[in-house]
Amino acid sequence: ESAPTPRAALPERAAESNHQATAEGLITRVNLRWEDIGGLAETKEAIRLNFALGLVQAPPGVAIQPTRRTLLYGPPGTGKTMLAAAMSNELDATFFNARIPDLMSQYFGESSKLLSALYATAAVHAPSVIFLDEIDALSRQRGGGQESGAERRLLNTFLGELDGLQNK
């Protein structure tokens, strides 16, 4: 009775059914383990160590802040998606595999609504790993005149959603 209301159930966060259905469609079932990834030993170890700190029982008087966000960067084909999928399996989490260009819409405000629906759906399916591929499509220099209004709104929504994760 006193449990907090999931973010997706809050009226101001409620997404239209088609947005939520689209977000649900981004759930990917991948049976990939760390051992299935050849190479990248240092990267895998760093990821494991970061997330293991959040799973251990802290000694009395010691506060351990678990990692909630990880940025994987590099050129295409370097294993970022595989690492995220293996991380979700290791954490027994729901894996959302989304490409930023797929979230972009030609209609006003739709991209931001879809991204918000993605985060709301991930909160319902928590624990979750959201893998946003091609994030560089959002990360153009602000004020350079190159970004459209839709890209600017989507970037603002994305940054707001990341900031909201701190309170989870």
Instruction: Kindly indicate the confidence band of residue 27, based on its pLDDT and cuts at 50, 70 and 90.
Output: very high
The mean pLDDT of 116-142, rounded to a whole number, is 84
Does 25 have pLDDT greater than 60? yes
Indicate the pTM of the whole model. Answer: 0.74
Kindly report, residue by residue over 57-79, the tens digit of the pLDDT. Answer: 778 888 777 777 788 888 889 99
Q: Which two tokens stand for residue 54?
A: 């959040």
Kindly report, residue by residue over 38-50, the tens digit of the pLDDT. Answer: 999 999 998 888 8
* Number of neighbouring beta carbons within 10 Å of residue 99: 14
The Cα 125–Cα 7 span in angstroms is 11
The confidence score (pLDDT) of residue 12 equals 42
The confidence score (pLDDT) of residue 129 equals 92
The Cα 3–Cα 160 span in angstroms is 24
Kindly report, residue by residue over 141-162, the tens digit of the pLDDT. Answer: 555 565 566 677 777 888 888 7
Give 82's contacts (C-beta < 8 A, 6+ positions apart): 32, 36, 37
The Cα 163–Cα 10 span in angstroms is 18
Does 15 have pLDDT greater than 70? no
Does 168 have pLDDT greater than 50? no
Instruction: Kindly indicate the confidence band of residue 105, based on its pLDDT and cuts at 50, 70 and 90.
Output: confident
The confidence score (pLDDT) of residue 142 equals 56
